[in-house]
Chains A and B, each alone.
Chain A
Amino acid sequence: GESVGLHLPTLSVQEGDNSIINCAYSNSASDYFIWYKQESGKGPQFIIDIRSNMDKRQGQRVTVLLNKTVKHLSLQIAATQPGDSAVYFCAEISFNQFYFGTGTSLTVIP
């Protein structure tokens, strides 16, 4: 029968290409944002964070962009590898509370 539940947005990319995962947040008062990666059967793993007084932050192969005007957050992964296949969540922190997006499922095609 038909399964009922969250239908995660999905993104498929070729190995070596760059990936961009997007997230819209809801609260303009949110002052801190985090991207997490969750592999099957594991807990979410911290990737990168950004404070609201910044619009860009770079890590190792990852970049987070924050556009407060349109309340949009993105995660860019350079040279995507098979090990990057996972579900990616954004989290916004507002008044010390964490709010999570539904996630995007990234599949890397070898």
Chain B
Amino acid sequence: KAGVTQTPRYLIKTRGQQVTLSCSPISGHRSVSWYQQTPGQGLQFLFEYFSETQRNKGNFPGRFSGRQFSNSRSEMNVSTLELGDSALYLCASRKGTSADTQYFGPGTRLTVL
């Protein structure tokens, strides 16, 4: 069974631009979560989607948004990029609403110049 995939793997943008990251969960997984990982803050939860609905949201500004499609694939968007948005963005999937094991993708390394 294929793992969680994320595209692109690397991205360079400039301040003020916007970016869209994509995540394909493991087949059969309906929950997708997004995390931001930086050396300064560690792993921080952005949001979780289940069956196309945002179920949980972390403490990030409205510039960070996401969505999930009917095939469970998810995208996250960051608008008006800031230097501090440079990070590894990780997507993780799990089966459903119970405390299932969460599996991570390889991440998208975003650099904002």
Contact = CB atoms under 8 A, between A and B. Distances in A.
Interface of A: 4-6, 31-32, 34, 36, 42-46, 49, 89, 91, 93, 96-98, 100, 102-103
Contacts, number: 48
| B99, B104, B106 pick with most chain A CB within 10 angstroms | B99
B70 interface: no
Interface stretch (B11-19, B38-46, B61-69): B38-46
Nearest to A97: B56
Given A42-B107, A43-B90, A98 B40 contact: no
B97 interface: yes
B102 interface: yes
A47 to B, nearest CB: 11
Contacts of A91: 102
Contacts of A43: 4, 90, 104-107
B22 interface: no
Interface of B: 4, 33, 38-43, 45, 56, 90, 97-99, 101-107
Contact of A34 (B39, B42, B56, B101): B101
Given A43-B90, A43-B105, A32 B40 contact: no
Given A43-B106, A44-B104, 19 more contacts: A4-B40, A5-B39, A5-B41, A32-B99, A42-B107, A43-B4, A43-B90, A43-B105, A44-B90, A45-B104, A46-B102, A91-B102, A93-B99, A96-B56, A96-B98, A97-B56, A98-B33, A100-B42, A103-B43
Nearest to A34: B101
A6 B42 contact: yes
Given A97-B56, A98-B45, A36 B99 contact: no
Contacts of B97: 96
Task: Pick from A34, A45, A96 the residue with the most CB of B within 10 Å.
Answer: A96
Contacts of B104: 36, 43-46
B106 A42 contact: yes
Contacts of A36: 104
